[in-house]
Amino acid sequence: MGTTNKGQISKDDLKAWDGSVSTFSRKTSSGGTGTYNIIDWAGVDVYQGYEARTDVAISSALNAIGSTNKRAIYLDPAAWVISNDLTITSNITLRCPPGVDIQVAAGKTLTIEGAIEAGPYQIFSGTGTVTISGVQIIHDQWTDGSGNDYYPSTDDSIDLGSSSNQFKDIYSDGTIYSDGISLAGNITPETDNSYDLGSSTYEFKDIYADGVGYVDTIAGFTLQGDIDPSTSTQARIDDADYFNVAIRDASQEIIHEVPLSQAFSPMSGWV
């Protein structure tokens, strides 16, 4: 009696899901026919199901799935040639393991409206255009393989946290650029007398304050308006003789003027 050897099975021995039909029939060991579920471990394996790594194969998978069924398509680690314009609709998740190279030809556009499952590695190449609208946060390594930046897919559309679910602390060694800042707390420098607010070439325009201003030195200061000692307005300035404080009449003519150091003392003539 001879020896029967059994070898290993491969992906080719398995029935691949084409994105449409989830079951298949085959003969049983008794000669009948059985219906079995297709293995769906990562969505539609495009190469396994359509035997090509091209935009045509991807389009065939997309057509089988349709534009409403929420499914994933899987591209195995290899070069995928996109020679025609191709749109992956919003109901499709594109799964790209390490080694996938989607090569978009010159003058062609790959539009991805759905989600992308990929790590921080390059998945797109070629001189064509890749437009991503279904992913909120994009990793720049997807397009050129370099850098460690994350950025939104569309400008001025995504919040970081919310009024009810806030981040606690933010640490940054670089620069934070913002069109506007709204605060609900104090601004406190990490060390005393070390950091500037603005610079000689980039100055703030106006400063509005309801409270008290404590400044060691004021240079190039112009006072517009009156200081009324009868109110709770306070000022503490070391170089108080640097400028004068004036009282003006209704026509804005100066009727009394004294150095600031004397403004709130008996010698001013005001108190």
At 168-213, the pLDDT tens digits run: 888 888 888 888 777 778 888 888 888 888 888 888 888 887 777 7
Position of tokens 């797109």? 124
Are 147 and 51 part of one and the same domain?
yes
Please identify, among 152, 170, 188, the residue that sits at the C-terminal boundary of a domain: 152
The better pLDDT of the pair 109, 203 is held by 109
Residue 183 lies in a domain: no
pLDDT given at position 232: 42
Residue 129 lies in a domain: yes
Question: What is the model's pTM?
Answer: 0.54
Residue 137: is its pLDDT beyond 90? no
Average pLDDT over residues 210-218: 72
Residue 146: is its pLDDT beyond 50? yes
Most confidently modeled of 19-33, 99-113, 211-225? 99-113
Residue 22 lies in a domain: no
Give the confidence band of 154 by pLDDT, cuts at 50, 70, 90: low
Residue 133: is its pLDDT beyond 50? yes
Residue 21 lies in a domain: no
The neighbour count for residue 260, using CB atoms within 10 Å, is 20
Please identify, among 152, 178, 202, the residue that sits at the C-terminal boundary of a domain: 152
Give the confidence band of 153 by pLDDT, cuts at 50, 70, 90: low
Instruction: Let me know: does 210 contact 231? Beta carbons within 8 Å.
Output: no
Residue 58: is its pLDDT beyond 90? yes
Q: How many Cα atoms occupy the beta-carbon half-sphere of 149 within 13 Å?
A: 9
Count of domains for the chain: 2
Position of tokens 């398509």? 73
The better pLDDT of the pair 267, 131 is held by 131
**Percentages helix, strand, coil for the chain, rounded to the nearest 5?**
10, 25, 65
pLDDT given at position 124: 93
Residue 240 lies in a domain: yes
Give percent of the chain with pLDDT exceeding 90.
24
Residue 19 lies in a domain: no
Q: Which domain holds residue 258?
A: 213-266
Average pLDDT over residues 143-162: 69
b (16+ CB within 10 A) / e for 135-149: beebbebbeeeeeee
Are 134 and 225 part of one and the same domain?
no
